[in-house]
Amino acid sequence: MNRKFFSLVLLAAMAIAVGGMACAQVTKSIDDADETDSGT
Amino acid sequence: MREAGEAGAPTISAAAALGGVALLIVLVHLPMLSFGFVSDDGWTITANGFLRQPADLWILFTPEAAARRVPDAFRPTLVLWDLLTYQLFGLAAGWHHALSIATHVGVAWAGQAWLGAMGAPLRLRAATMAIFGLLAVHAEAVAVISFREDLLAAGLGLAGALLASRWLRAPARGGGCGARARVFVLLRTISVGLLIALACGAKASAATLPLLWWLAEALAPWSRRRPLGQRAAWMAAMWVGVALWIAHTVALHGSLSPYGAEGNLRLFVSRAGLGPVLAMSTQIHLGYVQQMLIPWGLRPEYVDAGASWAAPATLLASAALLASLLYGLWCGWSGRRPLVCLAIVGAFVMALPTSNLAAMPNMRADRFLYFPSFPVCVGLAGLLLAAGLRFARRLGGAGEGAGRARWSWALAPIVAFVVMQGAVLQAQAQIYKSNAALWSSAALLVPGSARAQALAGEVLLAALDPAEVGSLEHQRTLATVRARCRSAMALDPLDELAHLCFARLAIAEQAWGRAQLHLERALALSPDRNHRILAALAQVALDAPGSSEQRREAALAAISRALREYPYAVEVWAVAGRIFHRLGDPALASEHYARAYELAPERWETTLWTAELALDVGLWRVAAALLAARAEIAESAPGVHRAALEGRLRDSARLFP
């Protein structure tokens, strides 16, 4: 059971890493859009 | 993690379950190891000379600490911690971040251990630890080194609560009576009181912990309620700890608030009064609830503002908060849902210190939720586990194998919640990787903040390459900074940072008279932390219009005041050395540079300026020896400054062999 639990932990860590990158990407795209708008 | 009544639930040891959760928390926070010092880290760590003076530690417990403006003197535990960690790690930001992550894991661990001491099942403890460890709103408290004050307060406070709950259930050694038993009881009582005093000494957010502890023990959701007298005795020990902290604050500042009385413009209550502040506070707290449940709208900066009690948003927020409080109280009173009561009423209790009832320089910040979120996490863990079990039971099936599969599904809601929170935490934490990232993000996310606009301008100026002066890029940056300063001034003309932004811009443009005017205005408005303004004023005064005697007097007056009021501010000593250097007094310059080096050996400015002084008095060999001895520090200076000094050194060596 321990092995399965630690696999779940690693899977969660990877899901968080991917989710974190996706969140950061979304934030960056919003920032870029704002920059373009305000730059004109 | 077998639960009673859950047939087929697989077993896992407590060490493996909790260790696995701790590992997950560490893995998610690992990117923070590459972050630098940001925000208040400058005032409390990098430029805080007090951390390099362990011999002066005693003054922390006397009014001298306030008189000498020791940064965060009203948080002696934090200062002690900063001093110890500086002695261990120096200014290696990675190690400080590693310590913050370890402390955060320690807080989560202490929290679950406290629940365990009260009889909570392993599943709830592990789920609480996972939620608390990965709650997105904790990004700020963990990612900014100096905000470890919140982590320390929570860790020490929960350790005190854990010991109190554990000892409430365990008789003292040496039997129930006798001198030895009495000594044990006394030592235990002192330990708990001391831990709570230390927690409050890290941050005032721990001051209401005795109430949370009492609530948890009175509700006793997982075990038999202990006798009233015993509970009262342990809570009294905790209150003694709180009283010790209050006595220290009053001794230092002469009042309960370290932020000074009315007239401090940083306290919004001084501008708008308590009514509008509290009205806005209801909206803020409803926002906090949303941010904990759905991590949207997390910000590194919030604009202080008042509100009307008749405003629809205030009425809605007040009604929602009051309804939830009444529901929580009913859950506890009826005895039907003690966990719900603990989560809701506990959060209210822990939010009291930062609820703006007492004036604070920031009305709202994500980090204020660090400790108050703990009871919420306990409630969320219970809710998500219950939802998961119901979900798993609906899946049906028979036999041992089916039971295990169902049990796995029972974890689905908690895993989904933790992954969602952890992902947002990782993304949110990126804002705090550097001052440039922090203040440019703050200005973008909160354009209405004068502080964010002014500091975004300042970080742009700080990043200017001296080699590019006069270039198109340089002019463009100055124009951007000017726009930031104007925005800050339009948003809040009473914020000294707006004037400081204009002053820095004027310095970059070498408009010394304008810089002097803005610095004087900033100084008039700023209630504290004036060392940077005074140091800049002293330097600018030497170049500002006026007779040479006037300039000299103005510079000396400003730097003398800075040295008198901020004896532990590193830049003040370095700038004093520079002033005497420029005024042609090498002995005094050397003395002040030496003190600046003593207070912060890592600063390249001190080393380069000391070498320049040696060159100016014709001692090029001394300068060369100094640069060789402090090669690592000199290496951290911008290339243009280093190259200029090395060029002078070469010329001196050639001309005066």
Rounded to 5 degrees, φ, ψ at A38 are -75, -20
Q: Is A8 on the interface with B (CB under 8 A)?
A: yes
Closest alpha carbon to B454 in B409, B393, B495: B495
A24 or B651, which is more confident: B651
Cβ of A19 within 8 Å of Cβ of B420? The answer is yes
Does residue B336 register a pLDDT over 80?
A: yes
Question: Is it the case that residue B56 has pLDDT exceeding 70?
Answer: yes
pLDDT band at B1 (very low <50, low <70, confident <90, very high): low
Residues of A in Cβ contact (< 8 Å) with B13: 2
- Whole-angstrom distance, CA of residue B184 vs CA of residue B171: 10
Q: How far is CA B287 from the centre of its chain?
A: 20
Looking at residue B595, what is its pLDDT? 96
Q: Which of A13, A20, A24 sits opposite B24 (nearest CB)?
A: A13
Which pLDDT score is estimated for B471?
87
pLDDT at B175: 54
Å from B221 to nearest chain A CA?
27
Phi-psi map region of B262: left, alpha, beta (phi>0 left; psi -120 to 50 alpha): beta
Predicted confidence (pLDDT) at residue B540 exceeds the cutoff of 50 = yes
Query: Residue A6 and residue B24: Cβ atoms within 8 Å?
Result: no
Q: State pLDDT tens for residues B402-454.
A: 566 667 788 899 999 999 999 999 999 999 999 999 999 999 999 999 999 99
Residue B519's SS3 state is: helix
Task: Report ipTM (2 d.p.).
Answer: 0.81
How much is the pLDDT for B404? 66
A38 has pLDDT over 80: no
Residue B356 near residue B269, CB atoms below 8 Å: yes
- CA distance linking residue B234 with residue B243, whole number of Å: 14
Query: Closest residue of B to A23, CA-based?
Result: B427
pLDDT in tens, B59-78: 998 989 989 999 999 999 99
Which residues are within 8 A (CB) of B109 and not within 5 positions of it... i.e. 6 or more apart?
B18, B22, B129
**For an interface test with A, which of B430, B438, B441 has the most A Cβ atoms less than 10 Å from its Cβ?**
B430
Indicate where chain B has its CATH 1.25.40.10 domain(s). 435-602
- Range with lowest mean pLDDT among B126-135, B263-272, B495-504: B263-272
DSSP-assigned letters across all residues of B237-257? HHHHHHHHHHHHHHHHHSSS-
The answer, yes or no, to whether residue B23 has pLDDT greater than 80, is yes
Structure tokens at B349: 């209790």
d(CA B294, CA B364): 18
CB contact under 8 A, A5 and B12: yes
- Helix axes B412-429 and B122-134, enclosed angle (nearest 10): 20
- Answer whether B10 sits within 8 Å of A1, measured CB to CB: yes
- Which residue type does B454 have? A
Query: How do residues B595-645 score in pLDDT, each as one tens digit?
Result: 999 999 999 999 999 999 999 998 989 999 999 999 999 999 888 888 999
Distance CA(B352)–CA(B366), nearest Å, equals: 15
Q: Give the whole-angstrom CA distance, residue B573 versus residue B606.
A: 9
Are B203 and B153 spatial neighbours (Cβ–Cβ below 8 Å)? yes
Nearest to B24 among A1, A2, A12 (CB): A12
Exposure string for B9-43, b = 16+ CB within 10 A, e = fewer: bbebeeebbbbbbbebbbbbbebbeebbbbbbbbb
Q: Which residue of B has its CA nearest to A16?
A: B423
Residues A5, B17: C-beta atoms closer than 8 Å: yes
From A28's Cα to the closest Cα of chain B, the distance in A is: 10
Nearest CA in chain A to B430: A24
Q: Which of B365, B342, B346, B344 is nearest to B354 (CA)?
A: B365
Q: What are phi and psi of B48, to 5 degrees?
A: -95, 100
B130-164 confidence digits (pLDDT tens): 999 999 999 999 999 999 999 999 999 999 999 99
Is the model's pLDDT at B8 over the cut of 80?
no
Please compute the mean of the pLDDT values over residues B3-29 and round it to a whole number: 81
Residue A40 — very low, low, confident or very high, per pLDDT cuts 50/70/90?
very low
pLDDT of residue B222: 94
Q: Give domain B435-602's CATH superfamily.
A: Tetratricopeptide repeat domain (1.25.40.10)
| Of the partner residues B21, B423, B441, the one whose CB lies closest to the CB of residue A16 | B423
Q: pLDDT at position B398, please? A: 47
Q: Looking at the predicted structure, is the pLDDT value of residue B189 above 60?
A: yes
3-class secondary structure per residue, A1-40 = CHHHHHHHHHHHHHHHHHHHHHHHHHHHHHHHHHHHHHHC
* Window from B80-89, B226-235, B260-269 with minimum mean pLDDT: B260-269
Q: Do B12 and A22 touch (CB under 8 A)?
A: no
Contact B422 A12 (CB under 8 A): yes
For residues B511 and B503, give the distance between their C-alpha atoms in angstroms, rounded to a whole number. Answer: 9
At A23, the pLDDT band (50, 70, 90 cuts) reads confident
Question: Does A7 reach chain B within 8 Å, measured CB to CB?
Answer: no
Measured between CA atoms, the residue of chain A closest to residue B447 is A34
The answer to whether the CB atoms of B27 and A13 lie below 8 A apart is yes
The mean pLDDT of chain B is: 91
Contact B280/B274 with Cβ under 8 angstroms? no
Q: How far is CA B174 from the centre of its chain?
A: 43
Query: Which residue in B415, B420, B427 is closest to A24 by CB distance?
Result: B427
- A and B: number of Cβ contacts within 8 A: 72
Instruction: Report the gap between the CA of A36 and the closest CA in chain B (Å).
Output: 13
Cβ contact, residue pair B134, A16, below 8 Å: yes
Q: Which of B20, B430, B444 has the CB atom closest to A9's CB atom? A: B20
Q: Do A31 and B427 touch (CB under 8 A)?
A: no
pLDDT at A39: 37
Mean pLDDT of B235-239: 96
